Amino acid sequence: MCFVRLEGLYYHYRQRGQRAGGQQSQAVDLLDGVSLEVKRGEVVAILGRSGSGKSTLLNLIAGIDLPQRGRLTIGGENTLQMSEQARTLLRRRHIGFIYQSFNLIDTLTAAENIALVAELNDHHSELVDAKVDHWLEAVGLTAKAQHFPDQLSGGEQQRVAIARALVHRPALLLADEPTGNLDAATGGQILSQLQGMVRDHQTTLLVVTHSLAVAQTADRILTLEQGQLSERQGDFTW
C-alpha cells in the first residue's frame, strides 16, 4: 500500500538581485516536479549535493512548508488541502522529524525536549516519563537527562533529537542527515536502533544522508538533482 505519495511537487523561492535601476527578484526553482511513492514500512534514502533541496523536500512532506504546486498525500490524506491546524495535528501524531540542525529547545533539558512531543500526544504523565526514560536509555543519555542543549556535545544533541523524533512511535519518520554529527561507532548504533524500530513498527523512513553506510541499509536509494528525484544510477562520488 502506498503510504506517502508526492506528485509533481514544485517549490521555488525568490532571490533578490540588485541591478542598475532597482531591485529585481528572481524565482529559483528548487524542486521542479518531484514525484515519489513510498510504501508503508519502506526505507528510502535520499542523496544529493548540498543545496539541492533535500531539507526543503522533507519540510514539505512534513507540512512545515508548502509547495506552490503539486499533490501530497500521507496515509491517503491530501495534506495540502487540510487546515494548518489539521496539518499540525497530523505532524504531531504521526510524523517524527530529525532535523539537520536538531532544533532542540534551549530552555528545556534533554528529558524535557523528548517529553514535549509525548506530552502533546498523551496526557498521562507516568506513561510519558516511562517513554522518556526508555528513549534516553536507547540513545545512551540517561546520565545527561537533566542537561540543557548547550551543555551537550553536537553528537549528544543529535541523539536527543533522534529520541524526540521517535518517542511517539511515528508512522512516518523523516530524518535529515541523522548521523551527520556522530562518530562511526555511535552512528552505527543509532542506525541499527532506527532500523529496529522501522522493522518492529512498520515505520516508513525517509532519510537524507551523505553516508553510504546509511544509504545501503535502505530499500531504495534516490538522488535529488536539479529539482528532480530519480532512482540512483551507478556510483556517486562527492
Site residues, Mg ion (CB under 5 A): 54-55, 100
By the rule CB under 6 A, 53 interacts with ligand ADP: yes
CB contact at 8 A, 11 and 67: yes
Whether the CB-CB separation of 118 and 128 falls below 8 Å is answered with yes
52 binds ligand ADP (CB under 6 A): yes
Our CA dihedral for 57, 204, 88, 108, rounded to 10 degrees, sits at -90
Q: Which is nearer to ligand ADP, 48 or 170 (by Cβ)?
A: 48
CB nearer to ligand ADP: pick between 28 and 130: 28
In the bound state with ligand ADP, the residue whose beta carbon lies nearer, of 40 and 69, is 69
Residue 193's Cβ-side half-sphere holds a number of Cα atoms within 13 Å equal to: 22
Q: Which of 55, 109, 209, 223 binds ligand ADP (CB under 6 A)?
A: 55
CB-count burial class (<10 Å; 0-12, 13-18, 19+) for 164: buried
52 vs 109, beta carbon nearer ligand ADP: 52
In angstroms, give the least distance from the CB of 65 to ligand ADP. Answer: 8
Alpha-carbon distance of 77 to 173, in angstroms, equals: 17
Does position 179 interact with ligand ADP (CB under 6 A)? The reply is no
Binding region for ligand ADP (CB under 6 A): 13, 30, 48, 50-56
